[in-house]
Amino acid sequence: MVQIIHTADFHLDPPMRQFLNKDRERRKDFLDKFDDIIEFALTERPDIILISGDLFDNINPRNPVRKHVIQQFKLLYNRKIKIFAIGGNHDIPKSIENALSPISILNTIEYLDFIQPEGNFITKRQVDIDNIKINVFGESYDVLNSGNRDPLDDLKFPDIDGDVNIFMVHGSIGLFNYRSPGDYIIKEINIPEEINYVAAGHLHDHLEKTRYNPNLGTTTELIYPGSIEFLSFNENLEKSKGFMFLEYEKEGLINKEFIKLETRPIKIKKIPININVQNIYSKIVSEINPLRNPDLILKVILDGKIKTDQIPSMRTAKVIDFGDDNFFKLLLDNYNHLTFETSELTLPDREDITPKEVFIRYTNQLLEKEENEVFKKRLEKAKKLGLKKLRKFGVG
C-alpha cells in the first residue's frame, strides 16, 4: 500500500499589511498550519507528499521563514518521506532578473523534488513503493501565459505506464467552472484518461470532482485540497481548510480522506444602515458585540443608504478601537456598499460670514456633542490644524 498527502497553497510569509500591528501574528498562523501538516506527516509516515504550488506567497520570502521550512523538510527527508512540488502563480518568478523560485533552494539540498518543465513534454518522475509503480507528472503555473491559452495544448505526456498515475497542476481546471482575473483555463480533455488522480492547486476552496473515462471504463479523481489558511474574504468562509490523505493499492484508490486543519476563525458581518439610524457607531457596536472573540478576524460591511450628515455618527476610529479591544482584528468596510442621499446644507445666517467663521462654528458643534475625552482632544487638534491651514492659504 502507498500513502500520499496532497496539499497546496500554503502561501507562507504573506504580507498581511491590513493587519497592522497584528501582521506578524497573522503570518505566523500560516506557518503554524504548515507545522501541523508536518506533524501529521511525521506521525502517519506517508510515502509521498505532493505540494501543488504556492508553497510561498512570493518569490522572496523572509529568511526566518526559509530557515523554518528547510528545518521542517529536513525532518521529513530523514524519515525518507518523498516530497514532490510544483510552482504556483505566487512562487514562480515572472522575470529573468528573478529567475529562480524559492522552491529551487529546497530542490538543491534535495529535501524535495521540484518538478520543472522539460521541453515539450510534461515532466515525469517515477517511484516504486511496496511493488507499486507510481508515476508523478508535474506542470507548474505558466506565469507568462496571457490567459487565453491552455499550456497543455502544446505539451505532451510521456508514457503513462504506472500502477498509479498522478498529475500535479496549478491553475484553473475548466471542469470546476472557476476563473479569477488573468487565469487561463486548463481543459479537461487535455488530461489523459490514464491519469488516476489530478493533484490540483490554485483554488483556495476544497473542491472535488470525479470524471468517468468512457474509453477505459475508469475514473479520474480531480481534487483541490484548498489553501491551509484563509487569505481572502472572497473564499468560502464556511468551508474548512485542510489537505488530502490518500491510500492506494496496486489495483487503485482504496481510501480518500480530507483532513481538517483548525484555522483562525474569520467572519463577515453585514450591517444594514438607513437614514433613520441616528447613531451609526451604536448600531455597529450592538450588532457585533455578541461576536466578541479575541481570536476572530471580523470584517464589518455597512450596507444601505444614508444622508451625508450621518457620517460623523459613524465614528470610524472609535469602531476600530472597539475592534482592537474585542477581536483579533476588525476590518471596516464603511463605504463600498453605502450610497448617499445628499443632506440639505445649513446656510449661513449672515451674508457677510466668512469661511473661517463657518469652520469654527462647525467644529465647535462637534466638540459640544463629543463626550469621549480622547476624541475631543483629537477634534481640538484638528480644529487648530484646520485654522492654521486656512491662515496659510489666506482664507478669512
pLDDT tens digits, one per residue of 106-139: 888 889 999 987 778 999 999 999 999 999 999 9
User: 194, 196, 198: which is closest to 215 by C-alpha?
Assistant: 194
pLDDT surpasses 80 at 99: no
Distances (CA, A) of 203 to 58, 78, 119, 208, 234: 17, 31, 27, 11, 11
CA distance 9 to 169: 12
Which pLDDT score, from 0 to 100, does residue 22 have?
A: 94
What is the chain's mean pLDDT, rounded? 91
Write down the residue that cell numbers 455597512 correspond to: 302
Are 234 and 265 spatial neighbours (Cβ–Cβ below 8 Å)?
no
What is the pLDDT averaged over residues 38-60?
A: 96
Are 235 and 227 spatial neighbours (Cβ–Cβ below 8 Å)?
yes
Q: Please return the burial class of 219, using the count of CB atoms within 10 Å of its CB with bins 0-12, 13-18 and 19+.
A: middle
Phi, psi of 246 (to 5 degrees): -120, 150
What is the pLDDT averaged over residues 190-202?
A: 97
Are 91 and 102 spatial neighbours (Cβ–Cβ below 8 Å)?
yes
CA distance 315 to 281: 6
Which pLDDT score, from 0 to 100, does residue 114 have?
A: 93
What's the Rg (C-alpha) of the chain?
A: 28
Q: Which residues pair with 306 in a beta bridge?
A: 340
Residue 195: count of CB within 10 angstroms of its CB: 23
The residue type at 75: L
pLDDT surpasses 80 at 61: yes
- Residue 340 pLDDT grade (very low, low, confident, very high; cuts 50, 70, 90): confident
pLDDT digits (tens, 9 = 90+) for 143-162: 888 767 899 998 999 999 99
First to last CA, the chain: 86
CA distance 320 to 341: 25
CA distance 202 to 182: 13
User: Who's near 345: CB < 8 A, 6+ residues apart?
Assistant: none
pLDDT digits (tens, 9 = 90+) for 347-377: 566 666 777 888 888 888 888 888 888 888 8
Which pLDDT score, from 0 to 100, does residue 396 have?
A: 58
pTM of structure? 0.84
Which pLDDT score, from 0 to 100, does residue 307 have?
A: 87
The residue type at 347: L
Write down the residue that cell numbers 479569477 correspond to: 180
